[in-house]
């Protein structure tokens, strides 16, 4: 898997913006990506040094639109902790 296929999008929520103060950043990642691949992808994409990576699988939820029922897709979330002194400029000013 190429390193630019690992990161899907940054997760910008109220909870994740509070994690930025602790030097932690959240991303949606590919379902088959592992921790070393995520670490390499973040280091190459943003030119920072990663201290640790925590990964969790978010299950799909049941949703309804009128009488139609369906499931949202399951996805994988990664919370990346950076070394002190490093930061990602993408999350600044949010």
Confidence check: pLDDT of 93 > 70: no
Beta-bridge partner residues of 81: 24, 52
> For the chain, which residues make up each domain, given as ranges?
3-84
Backbone dihedral angles phi then psi of residue 89, each to the nearest 5 degrees: -70, -20
Cβ neighbours for 15, distance < 8 A, ≥ 6 positions apart = none
What mean pLDDT value characterizes the chain?
94
12-16, 38-42, 86-90: least confidently modelled range: 86-90
Confidence check: pLDDT of 22 > 80: yes
CATH 3.30.70.330 at 3-84, yes or no: yes
Q: What is the pLDDT of residue 94?
A: 60
Confidence check: pLDDT of 17 > 80: yes
């Amino acid at each position: 898997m190429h390193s630019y296929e690992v990161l899907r999008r940054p997760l910008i929520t109220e909870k994740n913006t509070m994690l930025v103060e602790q030097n932690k950043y959240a991303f949606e990642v590919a379902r088959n990506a592992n921790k070393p691949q995520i670490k390499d992808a973040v280091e190459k994409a943003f030119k920072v040094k990663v201290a640790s990576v925590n990964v969790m699988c978010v299950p799909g939820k049941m949703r309804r639109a009128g009488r139609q029922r369906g499931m949202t897709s399951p996805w994988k979330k990664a919370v990346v902790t950076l070394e002190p002194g490093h930061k990602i400029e993408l999350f600044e000013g949010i």
